[in-house]
Every structure is written in structure tokens, then in C-alpha cells.
């Protein structure tokens, strides 16, 4: 496989990729002309991967962004094509948090202005006196990875932290010593305000005239997140009027930036330096290289932005059940007949305490394998389900009778359930079509429903033997004596058409998978 490194990353990252793949480092050739020849592309912030460019990447399987944001990638277009988009979200969090604190202190003590005056020959000691940050209220908008690190450092400076994030539980704020509050409450209470919101349609322009009007007079604002979060004209007007006492800005709506904010009073500016440390750059390159390699090798891409991701601790628990969910999805879809309107994924036991969206995606991935005119993977399986009008239902129960953990998948009522057994997490089928059964899941299986009468097992064995198909494993379950029985077999080769026809004629129902 071929990888294009479009923007320079750490040498360690390139070496990691070259140990496994054919890697070209090409920062100048017209991207629209060469992208079609690569299975993966690695970029930083300068390259813009639009829907048109992604469409031209006919072989693309993964886009690696060596950094946190993916604003420069059309993620929706990539998802529709089944392309994994992975980033390095942890790579620069320490650097960004430290830079935000540096900007805050520089703003509080007028350090850049005093430095410039002294270098220019002016001893202006009285002019550039500042304020202490101890006992001041720091408002944190966005309490993700970087926001939390900023809060920890601010608490170390004896600041009081009040924070807003609609996706963080109140107890998480309190664990870190911060007080949770609404967006408006943070604006109203903050002496210093630092922005760490993601950029989307809801947050773009969050700090505009109406928001500034709610702030304390003389508030100081720090933005080392995204330039588009702030209405620059409104901020300049507030700085000029004195409503905002100062601003420290690292990011701008258009970069490079040369606009009125640079000439506003009481401003500290840096040219998008928050992530620009040696440690962060090296870390981003290595992390994204690992993600690209995992995607190309069929592994689990832990930093994919268009696949549900879980933390390392959760993944340790959920990981063994990912292949199980995929196998159950494939089996349920076969039993449901393919033209399925509702697919239900249920988890039972300790698994129910975790974020199990990854298991749902795995079940969808298995369900649509071989049932789409495009390759199906963890990225586009939910898209395929939506396009086909398949309702996806998730359920959780904390108890699982007879099993510590259980995963069940139903396709329009055709239900199968399974679990993992042993240290090597072997995947077992434990129920199908209402019958309790215990059998290790295999690539090729046959499920036969029939009347519980003598001679059926021998007859089935003879049919498979005559067709030259070896039965590797078999188990039988029945609902009651003389009622209905279900036979499950794992087989070593594909059942030929004539055998399939014989099974259809001799059984109430027969299903062959693989």
C-alpha cells in the first residue's frame, strides 16, 4: 500500500510507516493529480481535503491528520466513501494548555508591552502594572482535554474556576475542583475567560456583541482554540470602549492574519503557536502514523473521528466483543433474510456500564458485509444503514442470565446472541431463533430448523458427506420433545448449490452463512 505524507511529520512517524508501507513525502505536486494513487494521506493544518479532492482519491482508505482538529477535512464526504479520518487528539493538549496559561499571565501582567517598551528604550514601570490572578474567577468555555488541563493549572495559581460544557457530567467538574455553570453564567462571573470550545455551526461566533454585553466590565479574554469562535469586529469595539479589559489571541478567522485586532488596545497576540512545541509536533506525527497503520492493517483505529471511539480502559473491556458483535450482525442479517427494516443490538451484564456504540457499529459492519455494492467498514456501515432505511435500535440491561456478558443482535426479530469464552476471548453462539445453543462461531455455518424426529441428524450428515463438505462441529437444541429442533453446524467449505437445495427441501428452514 502507498502512503502520501503531504506535510512533514516527525521522522519517527515516517520511519514507522516506511517499515510497513511504501511512503512518499511530497509537499509540492498538485494534490488533485496525485491523490488517486494513494491508499492513505497524512496532512497537518495547511492541506484542505475537500469533497472534490476526496472523490479523486479513488484508492483512499484513511486520512491521517497530525494534530487535533479536522476542520480542513470534509469528514462527511470521507465517511460516505468509507474512508477513516483519524487525528492525534492528545498530541498537543499539554502544549495548548500551557500556552493558554502563558497568554493569561502575559495579559494579566502586560509582559509583552513592558518588554517592547524597554527594548525601545522606555522605562515605563508605572504604565504597565497589572493585576494578580490569584482569587480571580477564570471562566472556561469548553471542558474537554485542553480545558481541563487549563483548569488544573489555573487552580494551581489559586484561581477560582467556573466552567461550561454541555457534554460533561457535573461530577466531572467537581472532581477537578471546578464549578459547573451555564454558558451565560460563565460569561457573567468570569474575570478572565478562556475559550476551548470545538468549532461547529453552534459555536461559531459564540463571543459576539450579545455575549460580550453579558460579561463583567474589564473582563480579559484568552483564545487559543479557534479563531472563528470570536466575532473580531465585536471584540475590537469592546476593547476600544473598555468593556473588555484585554485580549490574548493565538488564533484568527483567517491566517496569516493582518487586521484590526492587531492594532486594538490591550492585546497580546501570537501566530497560532499553541501546539508549536517540539514535543507536541513529534507526538502528533508518531500518533497519526500509528493510526494510519492500524487502519490499513484492519486494526481498530482508536482516534478515528468518524467511528465511535472509546478510552483505553473501556477498550480493554469492549475490545473482545467487537468481533463477536460483527459475527452476530452477519448471522442475524442472514437469518432475517437480508431485506431488514430494523436491526437491534442489545448488551447485557457488565458491558451495559460502558459506551457500547462501537459494538453497534461492529454489528452493522458485519450485517452489511457482501450486501452492498461498495466495501463496507466501520466508517460507512451506519451510513449504509441510514440510506437503506434500516432503523438501528440499541438496548442495555445490567443482568445477563447465565453469562457475565452477552451481546444479542436481532434483524426484524431473527435474534442471535453470543459471548466470549476463555483468556483468548473465543466467540460463541449461545442462542439463535429462540433456541439455546452453545457453539463456537465460525466463518462458514449452517443453521437448520426441523421437526424433532428420529433420523434427521444422520440424514444431514449423509447429505454433507455426499457433497464432500466436512462438518467441523455440530450441536442440536430443541424446544420440547417432539417439537421443533435447531441444528447448528460449522463446515470447512462452502455448501454447493445442490446441497443447499436438498437442505431447503428437507428442512422447515435452512440458513447457510459464508
Catalogue all structural domains in the chain, each as residue range(s) with its CATH number. 2-89+279-296 (3.40.50.720), 93-269 (3.40.50.720), 308-440 (3.30.1330.90), 442-514 (3.30.70.260)
> Is 438 in the active site?
no
What number of other Cβ atoms are within 10 A of residue 154's Cβ? 25
Are 398 and 415 in contact, with CB atoms under 8 Å apart? no
Are 246 and 223 in contact, with CB atoms under 8 Å apart? no
CA distance 165 to 143: 5
> Is 255 in the active site?
yes
What is the enclosing helix (H) or strand (E) of 380? Answer: none
pLDDT of residue 215: 98
pLDDT of residue 182: 96
Q: Report pLDDT digits (tens) over 162-181.
A: 999 988 888 889 999 999 99
Q: Report pLDDT digits (tens) over 274-304.
A: 988 989 988 999 999 999 998 898 777 888 8
What sign does the dihedral 433-438-443-448 (CA atoms) show?
Answer: negative
CA distance 166 to 186: 13
CA distance 431 to 408: 9
pLDDT of residue 312: 65
Angle 298-299-304 from CA coordinates, rounded to 5° = 105
Beta strand residue intervals within 22-121, DSSP E: 22-25, 40-43, 62-65, 84-86
Q: Tell me the β-bridge partners of 391.
A: 342
Per-residue pLDDT of the chain (514 residues; tens, 9 = 90+): 999 999 989 999 999 999 999 999 999 999 999 999 999 999 998 899 999 999 999 999 999 999 877 889 999 899 888 899 999 988 888 999 999 999 999 999 999 999 999 999 999 999 999 999 999 999 999 998 899 999 999 999 999 999 999 888 888 899 999 999 999 999 999 999 999 998 888 899 999 999 999 999 999 999 999 999 999 999 999 999 999 999 999 999 999 999 999 999 899 999 999 988 989 988 999 999 999 998 898 777 888 888 776 666 777 888 889 999 999 999 999 999 868 899 999 999 999 989 898 899 999 989 988 887 666 777 888 888 888 889 999 999 988 778 889 999 999 989 999 999 988 899 999 999 999 999 999 999 999 999 999 999 999 999 999 999 999 999 999 988 889 999 999 999 999 999 999 998 989 998 988 7
What number of other Cβ atoms are within 10 A of residue 113's Cβ? 18
What sign does the dihedral 507-409-382-444 (CA atoms) show?
Answer: negative
pLDDT of residue 380: 82
List 44, 99, 153, 226, catalytic entry: 226
Are 50 and 302 in contact, with CB atoms under 8 Å apart? no
> In the numeric block, which cell numbers belong to residue 427?
466467540
DSSP-derived 3-state class of residue 256:
coil
Scored b (16 or more CB within 10 A) or e, 431-443 reads bbbebebebebbe
pLDDT of residue 307: 79
Q: Could you tell me the pTM of the whole model? A: 0.61
List 18, 172, 204, 272, catalytic entry: 272
pLDDT of residue 490: 95
Are 469 and 499 in contact, with CB atoms under 8 Å apart? yes
> In the numeric block, which cell numbers belong to residue 101?
496559561
Are 345 and 360 in contact, with CB atoms under 8 Å apart? yes
pLDDT of residue 374: 67
DSSP-derived 3-state class of residue 505:
helix
> In the numeric block, which cell numbers belong to residue 102?
502563558
DSSP-derived 3-state class of residue 322:
helix
Is beta strand 219-223 parallel, antiparallel or unpaired with respect to 244-249? parallel
pLDDT of residue 231: 97
List 255, 297, 498, 501, catalytic entry: 255
Amino acid at each position: 500500500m502507498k502512503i502520501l505524507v503531504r506535510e512533514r511529520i516527525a521522522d519517527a512517524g515516517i520511519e514507522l510507516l516506511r517499515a510497513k508501507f511504501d511512503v512518499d513525502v511530497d509537499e509540492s505536486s498538485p494534490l488533485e493529480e496525485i491523490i488517486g494513487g494513494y491508499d492513505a494521506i497524512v496532512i497537518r493544518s495547511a492541506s484542505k481535503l475537500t469533497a472534490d479532492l476526496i472523490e479523486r482519491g479513488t484508492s483512499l482508505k484513511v486520512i491521517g491528520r497530525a494534530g487535533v482538529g479536522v476542520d480542513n477535512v470534509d469528514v462527511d464526504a470521507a465517511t460516505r466513501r468509507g474512508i477513516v479520518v483519524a487525528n492525534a487528539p492528545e498530541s498537543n493538549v499539554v502544549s495548548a494548555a500551557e500556552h493558554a496559561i502563558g497568554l493569561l499571565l502575559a495579559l494579566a501582567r502586560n509582559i509583552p508591552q513592558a518588554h517592547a517598551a524597554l527594548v525601545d528604550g522606555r522605562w515605563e514601570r508605572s504604565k504597565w502594572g497589572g493585576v494578580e490572578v490569584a482569587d480571580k474567577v477564570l471562566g472556561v468555555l469548553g471542558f474537554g482535554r485542553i480545558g481541563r488541563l487549563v483548569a488544573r493549572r489555573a487552580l494551581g495559581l489559586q484561581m477560582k474556576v467556573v466552567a461550561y460544557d454541555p457534554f460533561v457530567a457535573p461530577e466531572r467538574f467537581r472532581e477537578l475542583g471546578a464549578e459547573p455553570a451555564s454558558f451565560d453564567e460563565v460569561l457573567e462571573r468570569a474575570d478572565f475567560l478562556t475559550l476551548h470550545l470545538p468549532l461547529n455551526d453552534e459555536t461559531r461566533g459564540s463571543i459576539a456583541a450579545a455575549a460580550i454585553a453579558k460579561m463583567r466590565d474589564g473582563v480579559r479574554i484568552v483564545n487559543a482554540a479557534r479563531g472563528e469562535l470570536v466575532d473580531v469586529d465585536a471584540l475590537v469595539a469592546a476593547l476600544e470602549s473598555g468593556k473588555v479589559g484585554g485580549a490574548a489571541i493565538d488564533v484568527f478567522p483567517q491566517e496569516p492574519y493582518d487586521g484590526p485586532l492587531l492594532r486594538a488596545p490591550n492585546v497580546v497576540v501570537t501566530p497560532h503557536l499553541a501546539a508549536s512545541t517540539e514535543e507536541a509536533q513529534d507526538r502528533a506525527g508518531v500518533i497519526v502514523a500509528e493510526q494510519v497503520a492500524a487502519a490499513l492493517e484492519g486494526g481498530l483505529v482508536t482516534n478515528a473521528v468518524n467511528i465511535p471511539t472509546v478510552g483505553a480502559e473501556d477498550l480493554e473491556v469492549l475490545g473482545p466483543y467487537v468481533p463477536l458483535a460483527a459475527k452476530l450482525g452477519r448471522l442475524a442479517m442472514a437469518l432475517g433474510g437480508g431485506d431488514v427494516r430494523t436491526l437491534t443490538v442489545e448488551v447485557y451484564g457488565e458491558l451495559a456500564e460502558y459506551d457500547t456504540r462501537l459494538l453497534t457499529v461492529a454489528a452493522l459492519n458485519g450485517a452489511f458485509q457482501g450486501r452492498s455494492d461498495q466495501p463496507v467498514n466501520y466508517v460507512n456501515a451506519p451510513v449504509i444503514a441510514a440510506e437503506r432505511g434500516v432503523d438501528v435500535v440499541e438496548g442495555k440491561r445490567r443482568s445477563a442470565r447465565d453469562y457475565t456478558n452477552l451481546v444479542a443482535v436481532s434483524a426484524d426479530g431473527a435474534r442471535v446472541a453470543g459471548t466470549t469464552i476463555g483468556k483468548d476471548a473465543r466467540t460463541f453462539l449461545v442462542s439463535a431463533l429462540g433456541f439455546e445453543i452453545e457453539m463456537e462461531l465460525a466463518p462458514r455455518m449452517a443453521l437448520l430448523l426441523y421437526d424433532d424426529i428420529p433420523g434427521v441428524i444422520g440424514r444431514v450428515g449423509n447429505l454433507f458427506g455426499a457433497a464432500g463438505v466436512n462438518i467441523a462441529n455440530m450441536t442440536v437444541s430443541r424446544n420440547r420433545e417432539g417439537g421443533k429442533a435447531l441444528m447448528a453446524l460449522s463446515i470447512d467449505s462452502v455448501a454447493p448449490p445442490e446441497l443447499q437445495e436438498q437442505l431447503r427441501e428437507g428442512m422447515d428452514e435452512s440458513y447457510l452463512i459464508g
